[in-house]
Structure 1
Amino acid sequence: MLDRAQPQAEGSQQARAIRIAILAMGGEGGGVLAEWIVDLAEHGGYLAQLTSVPGVAQRTGATIYYVELFPQTALAEGAPEPVMALMPMPGDVDIVIASELMEAGRAVQRGLVTPDRTALIASTHRVFAMTEKVALADGRADGPVLLEACRNSAKNFFGADLAAAAERTSSVISAVLFGALAQSHTLPFERDAFEATIERAGVGVAASKRGFAAGMTAVSEGDSGPPTNGSVPRDASSTQASAASAPDGTHASLAALIAQADGAFPSSARAVVRAGLERLADYQDLDYAQDYLLRLKPVADAERRHGDGSGRLLAETARELALGMAYEDTIRVAELKIRGSRFVRVREEVRARQGQIIEIAEFMHPRLKEIAESMPAWLGRLMLRPGLLRSAIENATRRGRIVKTTSIRGFLQLYLVASLKTWRRSSLRFAEEEARLSAWLDRVVATAARNYALAVEVAECRGLVK
């Protein structure tokens, strides 16, 4: 760490600049954080320079803000006037601040973080990159591996879930990162100087100071790391939310179904099966969840007869079967858009105050195929055939439309679509998905009898179907 009282020196006689790189995504206040650091330094007797290298929008890259600080006392003692760089260079950065774990990993990859010099301050939460989202299978980077790389690559690592701290304090992550920087003691300034900087900015002072204090606390409590990948499937959080939103009358029946599954399936697959049951009961109904268990029984039998004791085949099949049975269609989209929990979440995200009215405008653009798939199978096939009906629907859906779900008209439009849920089993999409799932399950079971490892691969290949 840098000495509070004295800037780092390249030798016993020559002072040099303190070099700081900030990696932040759009909308996170990275520019504000950089300006705060500049203001802090200038009021603390340092020359400061700020430059930025823009990244790409939509989470495929981040802007790098680069700050250099040089002590004015060194100039007074006869040091030559510094020539400051315009961008960070590998192996020549004292402090790296990253607003998210992947950005910290990118800093390590670029060589900006070195074990002999760099203090790395990072939020350990994840925001998935575009490359992770568009991957055919599970393209997510391994959070624990990223975290370990950050720890091993930095001279000093200060990590905590700073996004959660910002959320708790109704602040922004830039203020929390500023607090983390203060608590890391990597700059020669006291806490009062940091807080005075926030006050001089004069915008959102109270919220920023709350976030600043939360950042100091988070770093002082130590590196918490990102959420680890447990035995619950990838979509566990959404299934838990779905179960919570189910009508009260279904909870007892769902609990009985889960108890039945716990008795029928080995412990290695129970968490996945439970999550699948919760998702499918919410997606359709309890009978649909019961069908899920029935379809898993042949796979469970194959696991017992041909398995290697790991339970991988049953767990992966249970995961992919639940996702396949809970496919996204126009009915599901409409249902999710009008849920009460969504309106509450939006109010929380925009931080609407009590009594404030918000409007939610949804851009909807269902195409011919999506509409036809939601219709009864015979009608859907008719709509897809070349002819006047198909042409009329294509013309009517050429442009998308905006639906205000906070208005009576917009809400009722989506409510009508969501009410088609009771007829989903007769829809064209349901028939197609059922045929695909049945063929896939038959192949998994048949392959397990010949080659267990290959059967696991066949089960995982279902994840390629989007």
Structure 2
Amino acid sequence: MTQAISILLCALGGEGGGVLADWLVDAARHAGYPAQATSVPGVAQRTGATTYYLEVFPTHISALGGQRPVFGLNPLPGRLDLLVSSELLETARQTALGLCSADRTCVVSASNRALTTQEKMQIGDGRLDDAALVHLLQQHSQTSHVLDMAALTRQAGTVVSATMLGCIAASGVLPMQRADYEAAILDGHATGNASQQASLRGFALGLDAVQEQRSQSRYVDAVLAPTANVTADAADAPALPEGVAALFPAAVHPMLRLGHARLIDYQGANYAALYVQRLQAVWAAEQSGAPGQSRATEEVARWLALWMAFDDIVRVADLKSRASRLQRVRDEVKAKPDDVVKLYDHFKPGVPEFAGLLPSPLAERLIAWEQRRVASGKAPLGLPIKVGTHTVGGLLMLRLLSSMRGLRRLGHRYAQEQALITDWLAAVEAGARAHPDLGLALAKCGRLIKGYGSTHTRGRDNLLHIVRHLAQGAVFDTPQARAQAIDQAREAALRDEAGQALDVALRAHGAPARELRAQPIRWMPRVRTQHADKG
């Protein structure tokens, strides 16, 4: 690198900001890296903070051949590598000045607040919203770590500057090692006095806290990385039949392999063949609109498999009675081979779950009866069941229920889900023929289908409303504009469980909001306690 690493430290009065800057310079020089620090004093009464600007050249002095870098005296907008602050609003203030950038800056901030004079002057609650401040940091930083530095500082019995030093060391921005930072704190002493030992404790707590956040972030990134996860999972899935693989391009194969294996496990080979048939229709539609592209087909391969393998009582019983699940539970509780593990599962199936396995005419009458009961103010029926899965009787009951998957295709729930899937796929195919962006936007709407019970119903209703009123109803100038509206509606539905954001997005594009669902009002009898009667 030919550029110095730039760091801005922000600290309030009495928090040891100057000491922190000195520690960083000493740690850099201890490790053999050139460094320089400057400071800009703040003002009193919590209207500002003292900032310290440092630059560390990430090339060892021995490799410079006698040359020395020229350092800057102040940070440049958008060129900051690390921003560290002991107060959340101060972090947001520096971010608002344009010093951070989303493609470069790592932000480390305390979640703690010291109220400003303006906030204290308000008649009511004048405090700024912490969530909005954190969101601002996340928007304008490459990585961000927000943590309760005050609690860590109290735990260590030191000042916040020591905790901030640990956070800086764990951020990975600077080239120094842990020993270099600890040497700066000890300042040449072998063990250090009581104050230095407290600083070492605060340093260790800050370092561990940020390292834990980074580990969690790496895990989440790995989980959410679609290509890596699909490839890894597909490697464990059974191989695709050659005849099926030949029908689709290689880009679709990883997801197709997972979906095909899932549906064979769920319902059998015939059901998996229906999955392939549906996917072929989407692929053909996409090729007619954009030859050579397969993005919509890849998305449909994912969400169609998940929707077709909808959760019902048969599926739940199957998953809970598998040997792999029992072994996973033993691993989670760290049971030894000779330990006895008792496992109880609690179920509360209601009328919709039982009606799902009945033929449609009978199921519709049963569901209508339940709806009349609920409309009259009564609670929905549910059958609480406690099953000892570790017992022979409990396991046999679950296996018996899971063996009923052959009856699933005769049930009301199966017929209902297949009809709705057909509606969605028809919209995807029509969109793919019109424009690749439109087909892809509608394919991604399959993400709205998730969970079970009311969560599944709500996602399904949202998807169908988007399809019927944005894909087929509202007027747009171009297919790309329609695709953009569908994308916005989908993201709104995923952000807000209540659906208010979705209604706003629908109205913004000329589509009607979702219909309000009738909810019964239940009058609860007033319970008079003995104490109230005496009063």
- TM-score, scaled to structure 1: 0.51
Partners of 2:234 and 2:315 in 1: CA distance: 14
Partners of 1:443 and 1:90 in 2: CA distance: 47
Tell me, yes or no, if structure 1 residue 407 matches structure 2 residue 401. Answer: no
Give the drift of 1:267.
2.0
Alignment of 1:268-417 (within 5 A): 268-307=251-290, 309-386=292-369, 397-417=381-401
Letter of the 2:394 counterpart: G
Letter of the 1:304 counterpart: Q
The corresponding residue for 1:424 is 408
Letter of the 2:346 counterpart: F
Tell me: CA distance 1:431–1:185, structure 2 relative to 1, closer, same or farther (3 Å).
farther
Give the drift of 1:435.
0.6
Tell me, yes or no, if structure 1 residue 227 matches structure 2 residue 222. Answer: yes
- Segments of 5+ residues of structure 1 without an aligned counterpart are 1-7, 19-87, 94-107, 114-140, 160-181, 194-211, 244-253
The corresponding residue for 2:452 is none
Partners of 2:355 and 2:232 in 1: CA distance: 31
| 2:443 paired residue among 433, 436, 459 | 459
Partners of 1:149 and 1:296 in 2: CA distance: 39
Partners of 1:239 and 1:145 in 2: CA distance: 34
Tell me: CA distance 1:224–1:379, structure 2 relative to 1, closer, same or farther (3 Å).
closer
Letter of the 2:143 counterpart: A
Tell me: CA distance 1:309–1:318, structure 2 relative to 1, closer, same or farther (3 Å).
same
SS at match of 1:403: strand
The corresponding residue for 1:119 is none
Give the drift of 1:432.
0.5
Deviations 1:372-396 (Å, cap 9, x if unpaired)?
Answer: 11233343234223289989xx999
Letter of the 2:277 counterpart: L
| 1:112 paired residue among 110, 113, 124 | 110
Give the drift of 1:157.
3.7
SS at match of 1:359: coil
Of residues 331-340 and 292-301 in structure 1, the stretch that sits farther from structure 2 once superposed is 292-301
Give the drift of 1:145.
10
Tell me: CA distance 1:369–1:228, structure 2 relative to 1, closer, same or farther (3 Å).
closer
Deviations 1:78-132 (Å, cap 9, x if unpaired)?
Answer: xxxxxxxxxx634999xxxxxxxxxxxxxx878339xxxxxxxxxxxxxxxxxxx
Tell me: CA distance 1:109–1:362, structure 2 relative to 1, closer, same or farther (3 Å).
farther
Give the drift of 1:184.
7.3
Partners of 2:234 and 2:344 in 1: CA distance: 25
SS at match of 1:355: coil
Tell me: CA distance 1:449–1:224, structure 2 relative to 1, closer, same or farther (3 Å).
closer
Partners of 1:385 and 1:92 in 2: CA distance: 58
SS at match of 2:404: helix
Tell me: CA distance 1:311–1:230, structure 2 relative to 1, closer, same or farther (3 Å).
farther
Deviations 1:214-263 (Å, cap 9, x if unpaired)?
Answer: x99x99xxx8994164454978877777x5xxxxxxxxxx5352x33322
Does the 8 A contact of 1:306 with 1:452 survive in 2?
Answer: yes
Tell me: CA distance 1:409–1:238, structure 2 relative to 1, closer, same or farther (3 Å).
farther
The corresponding residue for 2:422 is 438
Partners of 2:445 and 2:428 in 1: CA distance: 10
| 2:243 paired residue among 236, 260, 272 | 260
Does the 8 A contact of 1:303 with 1:313 survive in 2?
Answer: yes
Tell me: CA distance 1:185–1:417, structure 2 relative to 1, closer, same or farther (3 Å).
farther
Tell me: CA distance 1:110–1:422, structure 2 relative to 1, closer, same or farther (3 Å).
same
SS at match of 1:276: helix
Does the 8 A contact of 1:444 with 1:459 survive in 2?
Answer: yes
Give the drift of 1:438.
1.2
- Identical counterparts, % of pairs: 26
Partners of 1:442 and 1:388 in 2: CA distance: 31
Letter of the 2:109 counterpart: G
Deviations 1:425-462 (Å, cap 9, x if unpaired)?
Answer: 11111100111111211221122222331122122223
Letter of the 1:316 counterpart: E
Q: Which has the higher contact order (CA 8 A, sep 6+)?
A: 1
Give the drift of 1:463.
2.2
Partners of 2:170 and 2:285 in 1: CA distance: 47
Letter of the 1:347 counterpart: R
Partners of 2:245 and 2:139 in 1: CA distance: 32
- TM-score, scaled to structure 2: 0.45
SS at match of 1:423: helix
Tell me: CA distance 1:383–1:263, structure 2 relative to 1, closer, same or farther (3 Å).
same
Pick the structure with greater CA Rg: 2
Deviations 1:375-426 (Å, cap 9, x if unpaired)?
Answer: 33343234223289989xx999535232111112221221221111122111
Partners of 1:147 and 1:413 in 2: CA distance: 54
SS at match of 2:432: helix
Letter of the 2:442 counterpart: V
SS at match of 2:239: helix
Alignment of 1:86-105 (within 5 A): 89-90=87-88
Does the 8 A contact of 1:447 with 1:454 survive in 2?
Answer: yes
SS at match of 2:222: coil
Letter of the 1:227 counterpart: A
Letter of the 2:308 counterpart: M
Partners of 2:299 and 2:371 in 1: CA distance: 44
Give the drift of 1:287.
1.7
SS at match of 1:386: helix
- Segments of 5+ residues of structure 2 without an aligned counterpart are 1-14, 24-85, 92-105, 112-134, 146-163, 192-207, 450-455, 457-535
